Amino acid sequence: MKIISPRSHGYLDFLTVVIFALAPTLLDLSKVPAILSYGLAAAHLVVTLISGFPTAAFKLIPFIVQGWIERVVGPALIIAPFALSFSDEILASNFFIAMGVIIIAVGFFTNYQGDNRSF
């Protein structure tokens, strides 16, 4: 069941940007996880601003393409602590794994074909 509209997905994307931007300070992340988090905040902001849904400033890529990007990013976040050698940092690992699971779940429940004007 696709219960998240494109507009709601856009709001969740901006929330995700804020979470990634604040996490290094709020969670006192070490260098690698902090750089990754800031990088993800910036990348997610750019993609959010250029995707084809109501909250986007510039509709340069179709909304469905953003969905495919998130299908890659979600699992990548889950493996990031292990691939980037910070799995011994429990808080950082849990943060990235949780964000990966959340991004996968939001993608699963988003109606990428929905009416872009709806809530």
Residue 99 lies in a domain: yes
- Identify the CA nearest to 43 among candidates 71, 24, 20: 20
Residue 15 lies in a domain: yes
Residue 11 lies in a domain: yes
Residue 21 lies in a domain: yes
Q: What is the pLDDT along the chain (119 residues), one digit of tens a residue?
A: 899 999 999 999 999 999 999 999 999 999 999 999 999 999 999 999 999 888 788 999 999 999 999 999 999 999 999 999 999 999 999 999 999 999 999 999 999 886 654 43
Residue 105 lies in a domain: yes
Boundaries of domain holding 67: 6-109
What domain count does the chain have?
1
Residue 89 lies in a domain: yes
pTM: 0.92
The whole-angstrom separation of Cα 31 and Cα 67 is: 29
Residue tagged 């931007």 (tokens): 21
pLDDT for the residue numbered 102: 99
Residue 114 lies in a domain: no
